[in-house]
Amino acid sequence: MAWRKRLPQIVALLLVAAFTLLDLSCTSEDRSGEEHLLEVGCGVCHSTDTPLSKRKTLEGWRRTVKAMRSRGARISDQEAEKIVNYLYRIRPAEK
Ligand code: HEC
């Protein structure tokens, strides 16, 4: 019956494992944000470095995203607007 003595330890280990997994899934949940949107919406034809190596005005990003949608980027109006604002926030240009 030695394993019975170890039962609390085993339970504790399982709990730690469960919480670790839960924590990991929460982290990937966070990635459904803008960064993830850019990856799945804009990183399919070229790398996300293509937009991330540029700086544009808000209008410039809007034009770019519109052009990419006409090229075939599969994003909704809402997602497009999120991406435009995100890119302008992290890669703005004066003019
Ligand atoms: C259907 C394929 C496709 C998708 C999806 C796509 N692009 Fe592009 N993109 C291209 C192609 C092809 C080029 C190269 C042609 C060119 O430079 O005009 C390009 C070039 C670019 C450029 C460099 C030229 C410029 O206008 O400054 C940027 C920036 C860019 N893409 C941003 C984006 C963003 C942001 C998204 C997501 C909203 C996106 N792309 C999604 C096909 C795509």
Domain boundaries, the chain: 1-30, 32-95
Q: Backbone phi, then psi, for 89, in 5-degree steps? A: -70, -40
pLDDT per residue rounded down to tens, the chain (95 residues): 676 787 777 677 777 677 666 665 555 445 569 999 999 999 999 999 999 999 999 999 999 999 999 999 999 999 999 999 999 999 999 87
Which amino acid is it at 70?
S
- Residue 64 Cα: closest atom of ligand 1: 26
84 lines ligand 1 (CB under 6 A): no
Q: Residue 92: helix, strand or coil by DSSP?
A: strand
Is CATH 1.10.3470 what the domain over 32-95 is classified as, yes or no? no
Terminal-to-terminal C-alpha distance of the chain:
76
**Cα distance between residue 40 and residue 48, in whole Å:** 9
Q: Residue 46 Cα, ligand 1 centroid: separation in angstroms?
A: 7
65 lines ligand 1 (CB under 6 A): yes
Question: pTM of this prediction?
Answer: 0.77
Rounded to 10°, the helix 77-90/58-71 angle is 140
The whole-number pLDDT of residue 12 equals 74
